[in-house]
Protein backbone atom coordinates (compact mmCIF):
# COMPACT_ATOMS: atom_id res chain seq x y z
CA UNK A 1 0.00 0.00 0.00
CA UNK A 2 2.96 2.33 0.59
CA UNK A 3 1.05 4.62 2.95
CA UNK A 4 2.98 7.29 4.82
CA UNK A 5 1.33 8.50 7.96
CA UNK A 6 2.81 12.00 7.93
CA UNK A 7 -0.08 14.31 8.68
CA UNK A 8 0.16 18.07 8.52
CA UNK A 9 0.90 19.75 11.84
CA UNK A 10 -2.76 20.65 12.40
CA UNK A 11 -3.75 16.99 11.96
CA UNK A 12 -1.16 15.54 14.33
CA UNK A 13 -2.07 13.90 17.63
CA UNK A 14 0.25 13.07 20.49
CA UNK A 15 0.61 9.47 21.63
CA UNK A 16 2.09 8.76 25.04
CA UNK A 17 4.02 5.53 25.35
CA UNK A 18 5.58 3.78 28.32
CA UNK A 19 8.43 1.33 27.71
CA UNK A 20 11.08 -0.29 29.87
CA UNK A 21 14.36 1.53 30.46
CA UNK A 22 16.13 -1.08 28.32
CA UNK A 23 13.79 -0.51 25.36
CA UNK A 24 14.04 3.27 25.76
CA UNK A 25 17.85 3.13 25.81
CA UNK A 26 17.95 0.90 22.73
CA UNK A 27 15.55 3.15 20.80
CA UNK A 28 17.56 6.24 21.79
CA UNK A 29 20.78 4.61 20.53
CA UNK A 30 19.09 3.47 17.30
CA UNK A 31 17.85 7.01 16.70
CA UNK A 32 21.39 8.26 17.21
CA UNK A 33 22.87 5.72 14.79
CA UNK A 34 20.22 6.58 12.19
CA UNK A 35 20.69 10.30 12.93
CA UNK A 36 16.96 10.87 13.42
CA UNK A 37 14.87 12.02 16.35
CA UNK A 38 13.09 9.52 18.58
CA UNK A 39 9.84 10.91 17.16
CA UNK A 40 10.97 10.18 13.59
CA UNK A 41 12.21 6.70 14.54
CA UNK A 42 8.90 5.77 16.17
CA UNK A 43 6.90 7.20 13.26
CA UNK A 44 8.94 5.00 10.91
CA UNK A 45 8.15 1.98 13.10
CA UNK A 46 4.44 2.83 13.06
CA UNK A 47 4.50 3.25 9.27
CA UNK A 48 6.06 -0.22 8.95
CA UNK A 49 3.46 -1.71 11.28
CA UNK A 50 0.62 -0.19 9.26
CA UNK A 51 2.11 -1.58 6.03
CA UNK A 52 2.26 -5.12 7.46
CA UNK A 53 0.13 -7.60 5.50
CA UNK A 54 -1.71 -8.87 8.60
CA UNK A 55 -2.47 -5.33 9.78
CA UNK A 56 -3.65 -4.35 6.30
CA UNK A 57 -6.01 -7.35 6.35
CA UNK A 58 -7.47 -6.20 9.67
CA UNK A 59 -7.85 -2.62 8.43
CA UNK A 60 -9.67 -3.90 5.36
CA UNK A 61 -11.81 -6.51 7.15
CA UNK A 62 -13.06 -4.08 9.78
CA UNK A 63 -13.19 -0.99 7.53
CA UNK A 64 -10.89 0.87 9.91
CA UNK A 65 -9.92 3.59 7.42
CA UNK A 66 -13.43 4.99 7.26
Report which DSSP code applies to 63: T
Alpha helices in the chain (DSSP H): 21-34, 38-51, 53-61
Count other C-beta atoms under 10 Å from residue 40's C-beta.
12
Q: In the prediction, which pLDDT does 8 show?
A: 72
Q: Which residues in the chain land under pLDDT 50? A: 1
pTM of structure: 0.79
Amino acid sequence: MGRRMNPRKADQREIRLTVSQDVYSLLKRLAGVKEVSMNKLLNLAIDRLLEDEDIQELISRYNLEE
